[in-house]
Amino acid sequence: RKLDRPRETIRLVMKLSGLSSSELAISDHRQTFAPIAGESGSYRVSIATEAPDVPKQDPDPPAHLTRPEPYLDSNDAVVVRTAREVASDGTPHDRAKALARWVKSNMAVDYTIGTPRSCTEILGKRRGVCRDYATLFTGLARAAGIPTRTVGGLVYGDGRFYYHAWAECWMGRWLALDPTMGDGPVDATHIKLTQGGVTDMFRLVGAVGKIGIEVLEVS
């Protein structure tokens, strides 16, 4: 089913089939996965855009979400300096949006890059795919003291769903930002299947080429 204005989609209900693991069926304040009886790996998924007044629903994030980890070398001197230059003022929300805008403006899409790279390497080259945009943003946000995790999943564009990566920042609640597309809240075609660090996105490998989507409702 064609979605005419995906970036303006505020609610999406679909049947998603072919998930290789129930760990990919993540429910949170944006999306709900409900297993379909008798159909292994199939779910009814409801997704809505971020509401600015969503109350705090999760506990405080783990402390490691402001620390370096594989591919997220947020303690690198150049990463720290860049984060301070771009996001030195304002609320955590203001600083996160400033970083998202900066990543989108300073990166160039390069589909020839197929392997994961560190935040530092991406910052030096400033080219890559959505995974690189999300990795760079997450590293910079952590360097700015904003608890942030990378997200892997699906997004709609050009008449189909694609594998995609973005990020979520903790500001009393999780706020999803897509630095590949801009600094606004993500639309309802963003389907989250992994969350955490860059290596957590590797769990999508088992789902590649197997996921089916039937759109049931859209607004």
* Residues β-bridged to residue 44: 15, 34
**pLDDT in the model for residue 56:** 61
**pLDDT in the model for residue 201:** 94
How far apart CA 7 and CA 157 sit, in angstroms, is 9
Residues written for the chain: 219
**pLDDT in the model for residue 154:** 97
**pLDDT in the model for residue 51:** 61
* Residues β-bridged to residue 214: 15
**pLDDT in the model for residue 64:** 87
φ/ψ bin of 130: left (φ > 0), alpha (ψ from -120 to 50), beta (otherwise): alpha
Instruction: Please tell me the pTM assigned to this model.
Output: 0.94
**pLDDT in the model for residue 55:** 57
**pLDDT in the model for residue 63:** 82
How far apart CA 79 and CA 158 sit, in angstroms, is 33
Average pLDDT per consecutive 10 residues, the chain (219 residues; last block may be shorter): 90 95 94 96 94 62 90 97 94 94 97 92 97 98 96 95 95 91 88 96 90 96
Instruction: Give tens-digit pLDDT for 37-61.
Output: 999 999 999 999 976 555 566 677 7
